[in-house]
Structure 1
Amino acid sequence: MDLNAVEMFVEVVLAGSLSAAASRMGVPLPTLSRRLRELERQLNVQLLERSVRGTRLTDAGARLYEHASRGIEALLEAEQAVISDQTRLKGRLRLSLPPSFEPWWDLLAAFQRQCPDIRLHIFTTDRRVDLVEDGIDVALRVGTIAHETMVARRVLSYRHVLVASPALVERLGMPETPEALHRFPCAVWNQGSNAPTVWRLGSSEHSPAAVLSANDYAHLRSRALAGEVVTELPPFMAASAIREKNLVTLLPEHPLPVQELNLLYPSHRHPSAIVRSYLDFCQAQLPSFL
């Protein structure tokens, strides 16, 4: 197998198109295209599906990319280790984050201050992503992870909090039981499903008649601060407003379920030095940012 052609193939996957990869590598586009066709003939498989919008991995291409990118990363690490044991971490880290995950923004800024030669690319989405196909090194995900091709490193457990503005509570009264929420306008987090949202409050369940549903906690917080709704928020998105008495916690004796926060990366890919440093930094430093 032509290792130079394999490296070109990996660059095409990372860049998203042949033209972008050719520009990045300083290789003429016809040369790059010819080398990839030769690699496909050598392996007797199609690695890339080409279109006017770029390239897409075939199943065979995805398998080759998984192994080849790991090998190239290992060779680059070995090269850096030989040059100098003191070499600072340098390169690109591709991350996936949920929307409005504000504490992570400060955490990433602190990580880059510690490792200034690392360039971050952040893909924000609430949908499930294919880490290999989307070129993601580490994804931050909420909830229990059970996937045989992924490694999940749990970094935090927490509970959402039910909140409202003092003005809304003064107008409608402090609810003493989950059933009392029926007299409150509620806003819920929803990813677009038609299924009704259920708040599990201790041993009780409440199905709020939602006046608003959104997949953005920042939007829900804004409406709660405006005195319009009761909603649930991650604790780190409600903490400052609660401290400043712009929001109050409702039904603390009926807590919402425990949530798990995990960092997810492919199990078949040996974590690079950059990925390992990021994982360790997050686990060690996260408590100080919440």
Structure 2
Amino acid sequence: MDLNAARMFVAVVQAGSLSAAAARLDIPLPTLSRRIRALERQLDVQLLERSARGTRLTDAGNRLYEHAGRGVEALLEAEQAVVSDQAQLKGRLRLSLPQSFEPWWDLLAAFQHRYPDIQVHVHSTERRVDLTEDGIDVALRVGAIVHETMVARHMLSYRHVLVASPELVGRLGMPAEPDALHRLPCAAWASRVDVPPRWELGGHRIEPRSILSTNDYHHLRRRALDGDVVTELPPFLAGPAIREQRLVPLLPGHPLPEQAIHLLYPAHRHPSTIVRTYLDFCRGYLPRIVAACAVAGPG
């Protein structure tokens, strides 16, 4: 078997398309396509099904990738070790993060200080991206994981916090139960205008009297700090203002649901050295993320 062609085949699978792999390998697309066809002729089997949306592995291609992916990665790691045991990692890391997830900004800064030759591209969005089609190596996801084709590493869990300013509480009163929120002006996170916001407060579901809905938690925090609304915030956005007594937590006996944070990457890809390094770094940095998500203060 042509080992260089096998390496190109692995790159196509990992990139999700011939064009993306050609760009990653820095070779002309016709050259890459010709080498893959030659490999298929050599093995007398079709490895890839090609379409306008990219490429998909055949059963034979999947079997080859399971073995060739590990072999190519091992050869690359051996080459790197021979060149220099102290060689710094170089390359690009493509990540997907939720909007406003500030603790991960600090993590990425620390990661790049540790590995200055790794270029990081962050796609920040509320929607669930397709890692293969969008060229994402690792995604940070909040909430339940429904992708069976993804490897999910659980990082931590936390709860959002219901908050208001001391001025609003002093003016309108402290709610004693979830239904009391109906008499207060509220603002809620929402991704769609046609779906009314709902809060699960200790198993009690309410539809708050929402004068504002937005998919921007920074906007919600600003309106809460201005004394305009009751809202729910991630703990890392609410915590500093609570400690400074600029916000107060409401209904601590009726907590919002716990949310799980995972790192996801495609199950069919053999993780690159850079991806594995990033995953391990995140695990080591986790205590700082947990501390950032802790809310201390009254209540």
**What's the TM-score once normalised by structure 1's chain length?**
0.82
How far off is 1:22 after superposition?
A: 5.8
**1:66 & 1:259 partners in 2: Cα distance?**
35
Q: Deviations 1:119-151 (Å, cap 9, x if unpaired)?
A: 212121222222223222211111232543222
CA–CA separation in structure 2 for the residues paired with 1:76 and 1:239 = 45
* Aligned equivalent of 2:244: 244
AA at the equivalent of 2:75: L
Quick check: 2:188–2:213 contact (8 Å CA) kept in 1? Answer: yes
Structure 1 unaligned segments of length 5 or more: list them.
none
Letter matched to residue 166 of structure 2: P
The 5 Å alignment of 1:44-63 reads 44=46, 47-49=49-51, 56-58=54-56, 60=58
- In the alignment, the residues of structure 2 paired with residue 284 and residue 191 of structure 1 have an alpha-carbon distance, to the nearest angstrom, of 32
Query: Is the counterpart of residue 210 in structure 1 residue 202 in structure 2?
Result: no
In structure 1, distance between residues paired with 2:40 and 2:48: 6
Work out the CA distance in 2 between the residues paired with 1:118 and 1:14: 18
Alignment check: 8 A CA contact 1:155 1:263 kept: yes
Per-residue displacement from partner, 1:162-186 (whole Å, max 9, x unpaired)?
A: 0112222222111111111011111
RMSD: 3.1
Share of identical aligned residues, percent?
Answer: 63
Letter in 1 for 2:206: H
- Aligned counterparts, 1:42-121, within 5 A: 43-44=45-46, 47-49=49-51, 56-58=54-56, 60=58, 72-121=72-121
What are the within-5 Å matches in structure 2 for residues 182-197 of structure 1?
182-192=182-192, 194-197=194-197
Is the contact made by 1:77 and 1:272 (CA closer than 8 Å) also made in structure 2?
Answer: no
Residue 99 of structure 1 deviates from its aligned partner by: 0.8
Q: CA 1:137/1:28 → structure 2, altered by over 3 Å: closer, same or farther?
A: closer
Q: Distance in 2 between matches of 1:64 and 1:195?
A: 44
1:93 touches 1:274 (CA, 8 Å); kept in 2? yes
Q: Does 1:160 align with 2:160?
A: yes
Tell me the CA shift for residue 260 of structure 1.
1.0
Aligned counterparts, 1:132-147, within 5 A: 132-147=132-147
| Cα deviation, residue 235, structure 1 | 0.2
Which one-letter code corresponds to 1:276 in the other structure? Answer: R
Q: Distance in 2 between matches of 1:101 and 1:65?
A: 39
SS in 2 for 1:188: strand
Go from structure 1 to structure 2 and tell me whether the alpha carbon gap of 1:43 and 1:187 turns closer, same or farther (over 3 Å shift).
farther
Partner of 1:280: 280
Q: For residue 261 of structure 1, report the CA deviation from its aligned partner.
A: 1.0
Say if 1:57 and 1:133, in contact at 8 Å, map to a contact too: no
8 Å Cα contact 1:217-1:233 kept in structure 2? yes
Structure 2-normalised TM-score? Answer: 0.80
Aligned length: 285
